Structure 1
Amino acid sequence: MVQETKRARLIYNPVSGQEIMKKHIADVLHILEQLGYEASAFQTTAEPNSAMDEATRAALTGFDLVIAAGGDGTINEVVNGIAPLKQRPHMAIIPTGTTNDFARALKIPRNNPIEAAKIIGKQQLVYQDIGLAYQDSYFINIAATGSLTELTYSVPSNMKTMFGYLAYLAKGVELLPQISNAPVKITYDDGVFEGDVSMIFAALTNSVGGFEQIAPDAKLDDGNFTLILVKTDNFLEISHLISLVIQGGKHIEDPRVEYIKTSQLTIEPQSDQRMMINLDGEYGGDAPITLRNLKNHISFFANTDEISGEALSFDPELKEIAEKFAHKVEDLGETEN
């Protein structure tokens, strides 16, 4: 009996990561062919939902594997094309974006398309939890709201391309003095929180904004979000919390932080203040919002040899950048005083 050839569809963002994928399309397709796939590629366009629509088409026409190549936004869009379907193909990612949070969690080589593609050959799958918001929007890494999360919207795309994660930190320092608390009611599995918060994170992985210790014990497949509530808007106190993150996730024991595991939650503003929701780094609507964890919803090829159930070591390069961020905040505080 002749074994049927598997089919793989590569969906890539041509402008992500200084157009790195355009230089390696032939190499990646060759690797896929060597792994036994009949491989083809689709280049996303500026049209809305380009990657999402192609992912849906590929899944419905029977592709066995869909590969998202680009930043977290491209990966999110491909996931949104597949997640609503009853029959979902395996997924793989080739990260070429700015922060590449999801790639960090799956231990996929970043900004190296050839090495990232080779991970597929290890045949190691993670049945990843997926977040659902507003009944029709899916996310793979983070849902967030609060003053500091708005910096994602205010960093120009050309700055992201040129300066990467440093661009976010530079904008973050600028916005810290503007952080303010807002009253909120949050209903989750085991209770209700009512009070003032400056930031809310509902994380599916341990990597948030490049920091791999914000949710140090987050699991990829346990059916729970890691809900983090920051209860201070004092930028010096927030700077201290950042330093605790860098020191190995010690912030989760700080009284200014609520650290909760839950399979679902509802965020309800308790004032007229707008609360914009950030889904995987992009604007995803306004609160009130209900988030649900879809356990083991999509299977991803991952480098499971390097994934630990325990807290992971902080990326040395990002640690250096984050320390500079903390020092800038301290300098800003001294200037204010």
Structure 2
Amino acid sequence: MTSKARLIYNPVSGREQMPKNVADILDVLEQAGYEASAFRTTPEKMSAQNEATRAAKEGFDLIVAAGGDGTINEVVNGIAFLEDRPKMAIIPAGTTNDYARALGIPRDNIPDAAKIILKNKTRKMDIGKACFNKKTQYFVNIAASGSLTELTYGVPYEIKSALGYAAYLIKGAEMLPHLTENEMRLTYDDGVYEGKLSMFLLGMTNSIGGFEQIMPDAQLSDGLFQLIVVKPSDPGNLLKLMALALNGKHVDDPNIIYTKTRSLKAELIGKSEGKDLPVNLDGEIGGYCPVSFDNLKQHIEFYVGC
């Protein structure tokens, strides 16, 4: 019986480069032995997510997510909750393409990214699960909260497209004088942190916002998150931390907690209790604190290039 593959692509990703590459991608999938078809996402909310769920329930063996990190996140959310999950492949066409970078997928040539499937190399990857008061969300790369997380979702698309990684540095310098602190309780495998913080990051790969050393010890399928807690500090020291993060030296700073954990519970306490503090999942706001995270070890099988 022929295996079936469904390409789910965002037509506006990568400066609208995806539509003209659809035929080549489908040809690669046919070469790989799949009966292939395509779905063009629409502006409708959760378009990619709903199509991924439909395809998985109809027995498709492979779902190819083509677009930016947001499209990949939607497709993952469309299948992660299912008992029977298809394989996934990704074709990066966004600005930073963090997850593609972590999986060794070519990020500057759409047909070459598709041809990774022909190598038939797969790996079961960890998936993050975030439980808010009224909903559950999944993520593949990063969960974060605190004022510094604006670095991931506060940079306008046009600026990211024009400046790439430099956009994050410019945004960071702009934010420093206006940073706020939150009083939180973080409960993780090895302990509890209670007090003020500027940000926490829960990472699953070593690539965040285009930087490859923020989570220097990240593994892709060990069932563990990398947790970074940034304690309050003066703007000058935070600028220093940003510079150290470029080469992974920030984890030794006394204003940083860096550890591994299978789970995390984050809640506001004290004067911060009752605030609407957003939680960023793979570059988009996924919900608001309080939130509990669990690592779903080796939950989805991906085609990889490394």
Cα distance in 1, alignment partners of residues 54 and 85 from structure 2: 11
CA contact (8 A) 2:152 2:209 kept: no
CA contact (8 A) 2:88 2:302 kept: yes
**Where do residues 242-257 of structure 1 align in structure 2 (5 Å cutoff)?**
242-247=242-247, 249-257=248-256
**Alignment correspondent of 2:193:** 193
Q: Distance in 2 between matches of 1:284 and 1:225?
A: 18
Question: 2:23 maps to what in 1?
Answer: 26
1:259 is aligned to: 258
Runs of 4+ aligned residues of structure 1 deviating over 6 Å after TM superposition are: none
- Residue of structure 1 in register with 2:296 after alignment: 294
Letter of the 1:184 partner, please give it: M
Residue in 1 aligned with 2:59? 62
SS in 2 for 1:184: strand
Cα distance in 2 for residues equivalent to 1:242 and 1:161: 21
Contact kept? 1:205, 1:220, Cα under 8 Å: yes
Cα distance in 2 for partners of 1:275, 1:136 equals 17
Asked if structure 1 preserves the Cα contact closer than 8 Å seen for 2:198 and 2:231, the reply is yes
1:15 to 12, 30, 42: 12
| Residues 225 and 264, structure 1, Cα contact 8 Å, conserved in 2 | yes
In structure 2, runs of 5+ residues without a counterpart are none
Matched letter for residue 160 of structure 2: K
Question: Deviation of residue 153 (structure 1)?
Answer: 3.8
Partners in 2 of 1:161 and 1:243 — Cα distance? Answer: 22
Q: 1:274 aligned to 2:283? A: no
TM-score, normalisation: structure 1? 0.86
Q: Which amino acid aligns with 1:90?
A: K
- 2:204 corresponds in structure 1 to 204
Asked if the contact 2:228–2:259 (Cα under 8 Å) also holds between the matched residues in 1, the reply is yes
Deviation of 1:172 after TM superposition, in Å, equals: 2.4
CA–CA separation in structure 1 for the residues paired with 2:209 and 2:157: 16
1:151-170 counterparts in 2 under 5 A?
151-170=151-170
- Pairing of 1:39-188 with structure 2 (within 5 A): 39-134=36-131, 136-188=136-188
Moved more, 171-180 or 111-120: 171-180
Compute the TM-score of the two structures, normalised by the length of structure 2.
0.94
Q: Deviations over 1:254-305 (max 9, x none)?
A: 111000111001001122443210000001111111011111100000012x
Distance 1:227 1:34 in 2: 41
CA RMSD of aligned residues (A): 1.4
Q: How much has 1:174 moved relative to structure 2?
A: 1.2
Corresponding position of 2:286:
284
Q: Deviations over 1:141-177 (max 9, x none)?
A: 0000111212444333333344444333322221122
8 Å contact from structure 1 (residues 129, 296) kept in 2 = yes
Superposed CA deviations along residues 12-61 of structure 1, whole A, max 9, x for unmatched, are 00001101111211111111111111111100000011000100111111
Using the alignment, how far apart are the partners of 2:102 and 2:87 within structure 1?
17
What residue identity is the alignment partner of 2:198?
A: S
| Contact in 2 for aligned 1:200/1:228 (Cα 8 Å) | yes
CA distance in 1, matches of 2:84, 2:108: 30
Q: What does the per-residue CA deviation read over 1:202-226, in whole Å, with 9 as the maximum and x for residues that have no partner?
A: 0011111111111111111111110
Counterparts of 1:44 and 1:169 in 2: how far apart (Å)? 31
Q: Which amino acid aligns with 1:75?
A: I
Percent of paired sites with the same residue: 58
Cα deviation code 1:82-132 (max 9, x no counterpart): 101110010000011111111111011113111111111111111111111
Distance apart, 1:6 and its partner CA: 1.4
By how many angstroms is 1:246 displaced?
A: 2.0
The count of aligned residue pairs is 300
